[in-house]
Amino acid sequence: MPSIASKFAVLAAGLFLAGCMQTTHYEASSDSLLKPRDKELLSKVTYAKAPVAEPFRRAIVDYHRKEAPGSIMVDSDNHYLYYVLDNGKAIRYGITVGEEAMAWSGIAKVGALREWPDWHPTKSEIERLGVPTFVKGGPDNPMGSRAIYLYSGGKDTLFRIHGTNQPEYIGASISSGCIRMTNEDVIDLYSRVKMGAIVVVLEPKQGDSPFNSKMALQGGNTLYQ
């Protein structure tokens, strides 16, 4: 039989999660941002349209950091990307991030924006993954429906925020370093972000999310039913 202390710990964790959930409003997916080409290409995808776990679905949340509205903050530890709004709020998206050895962190700016971008794998990706040197943009392209290119010091960092043909990995660390979002979420983000916007990618082990996705996935399932 659980001890009184352990029961209290479980209750406290539940209250913590419930408190976070009270500050969260989940946004329903909308087709209003989809252009005719988006609808055409998304209807042709051959990958499985796996549902995203609820803690990683698009949400409006309280935001406690000091980045200016219009900025992007990436918390790789918790697999979240935040688009900062006014009045202490942000839109939070679930993401796939790079494996620890290939993760990138730092401060960059949005240097380019592309719809249904072509993929030009890096030399290391070609050698490691055995992929071709060029993949034209389209429904099953690993770059997905949109790409936001990160620049630092006026130069392309080769890291991007982009869509994915593997939505089942949202919330995981398996990419080659880029930040992946569902195709629908990256279309939403793309419609908001401006050229030159600041992008802050926190260093590993520096996760600063007010809501811990790992805790939610491990012990908070009843909150999402």
The residues carrying an active-site annotation are: 162, 178
Rg (CA), the chain: 18
The identity of residue 147, as a single letter, is A
Give the CA distances from residue 45 to residues 145, 162, 165, in Å, rounded to whole numbers and listed in that order: 11, 16, 8
Closest CA to 80 of 201, 174, 205: 201
**How would DSSP label each residue in 117-163?**
--B---HHHHHHH---S-B-SSTT-TTTTEEEEEEETTEEEEEEEE-
Strands 80-84 and 89-94: antiparallel
